[in-house]
Amino acid sequence: EVAVNRIAAGEVVERPASAVKELIENALDAGATRIELCVKDGGKTLIRVTDDGHGIPAQDLPLALSRHATSKIDGTDLLNIHTFGFRGEALPSMAAVGRMTITSRIAGQDAAQIVVDGGAMGAVTPAALTKGTVVELRNLFYATPARLKFLRTDRAEMGAIADVVKKLAMAEPYVGFTIRDLSRDDKGRVTFRADAQSGDMFDALSGRLRSILGAEFADNALAIDAERDGVTLTGYAALPTYSRGNSISQFLFVNGRPVRDKLLVGALRGAYSDFLSRDRHPVVALFLELEPTKVDVNVHPAKAEVRFRDPGTARGLIVSALKHALADAGH
Ligand code: ADP
Ligand code: MG
Task: Please report, for the domain that includes residue 17, its CATH number.
Answer: 3.30.565.10
Find all residues with CB under 8 Å of 327, minimum gap 6, and list them. Answer: none
Strands 112-117 and 99-105: antiparallel
Residue-wise pLDDT for 251-265, tens only, equals: 999 999 898 888 999
Ligand nearest to the CA of 68: 1
| Count of C-beta atoms within a 10 Å radius of residue 39 | 28
pLDDT for residue 31: 97
- To test the pocket of ligand 1, the residue of 13, 60, 91, 168 to mutate (highest count of ligand atoms within 8 Å of its CB) is 91
In a domain, 209, yes or no: no
Q: What is the pLDDT of residue 9?
A: 56
Q: What is the pLDDT of residue 14?
A: 86
CA atoms within a 13 Å half-sphere pointing along the CA-CB vector of 197: 21
pLDDT at 199 over 90: yes
Q: What local confidence, expressed as pLDDT, does residue 254 receive?
A: 94
> pLDDT value at position 300?
57
Q: Is the distance from CB of 93 to CB of 41 less than 8 angstroms?
A: no
Looking at ligand 1, which atom is closest to the CA of residue 87? Answer: 3
Least confident of 76-80, 85-89, 133-137, 240-244: 76-80
Residue 315 lies in a domain: yes
In a domain? residue 210: no
- Based on the fold, state whether residues 177 and 92 are members of the same structural domain: yes
Contact 259, 251 (CB under 8 A): no
Would residue 31 count as lying in a domain?
A: yes
Q: What is the CATH number of the domain that holds 253?
A: 3.30.230.10
Cα distance between residue 56 and residue 305, in whole Å: 30
288 contacts 255 by C-beta, under 8 angstroms: yes
Domain-embedded: residue 7: yes
Please give the Cα distance from 259 to 50 (Å, whole number). Answer: 25
Pick the last residue of a domain from 148, 164, 194.
194
Mean pLDDT of the chain: 90
Query: What's the rounded mean pLDDT across residues 257-282?
Result: 91
Check pLDDT > 70 for residue 7: no
- The ligand with the least distance to the CA atom of 61 is 1
Residues 45, 310: Cα–Cα separation, whole Å: 44
Q: How many angstroms separate the first and last alpha carbons of the chain? A: 60
Instruction: Count how many domains the chain has.
Output: 2
Task: Name which residue sits closest to atom 25 of ligand 1, judged by CA.
Answer: 55
Q: What percent of the chain has pLDDT over 90?
A: 69
Using the predicted structure, report yes or no on whether residue 178 has a pLDDT greater than 60.
yes
Q: Is the pLDDT of residue 245 over 70?
A: yes
Residue 88: pLDDT band (50, 70, 90) is confident
Give the residue, 1 or 266, on which the prediction is more confident: 266
- Judgement on whether residues 243 and 152 belong to the same structural domain of the protein: no
Instruction: Determine the distance from the C-alpha atom of residue 240 to the mean position of all C-alpha atoms in its chain, rounded to a whole number.
Output: 28
CA atoms of 310 and 326, how far apart (whole Å):
25
Q: Kindly state whether residue 207 falls inside one of the protein's structural domains.
A: no
The whole-angstrom separation of Cα 74 and Cα 86 is: 9
137 shares its domain with 106: yes
The parent domain of residue 59 ranges over 2-194
The span from the CA of 6 to the CA of 201, in Å, is 40
- Site to probe by mutation for ligand 1, drawn from 54, 70, 78, 136 as the one with most ligand atoms within 8 Å of Cβ, is 70
Ligand 1 first shell, C-beta below 6 A: 22, 26-27, 30, 51, 53, 55-56, 64, 70-72, 85-91, 133
Q: How far is the CA of 125 from the centre of ligand 2 (A)?
A: 23
Atom 21 in ligand 1: residue holding the nearest Cα: 26
From CA 189, how far away is CA 79, in angstroms rounded?
42
Residues 116 and 12 in one domain: yes
In this predicted model, what pLDDT tens digit does every residue of 91-132 receive, in sequence order?
A: 988 998 899 999 999 999 999 999 999 788 999 999 999 999
281-307: pLDDT as tens digits = 999 999 999 998 899 876 555 567 788
Whether residue 11 has pLDDT greater than 80: no
Q: Are residues 56 and 143 in the same domain?
A: yes
Ligand 1: residue whose CA is nearest its atom 11: 64
- 7 shares a domain with 152: yes
* Dist. CA 209 → ligand 2 center (Å): 25
Position 146 scores a pLDDT of 85
What is the 260 CA–ligand 2 centroid distance (Å)?
20
Q: How far is the CA of 167 from the centre of ligand 1 (A)?
A: 20
Cα separations in angstroms, 112 against 16, 109, 295: 25, 9, 38
Identify whether 81 is part of a domain. Answer: yes
Percent of the chain with pLDDT over 70: 89
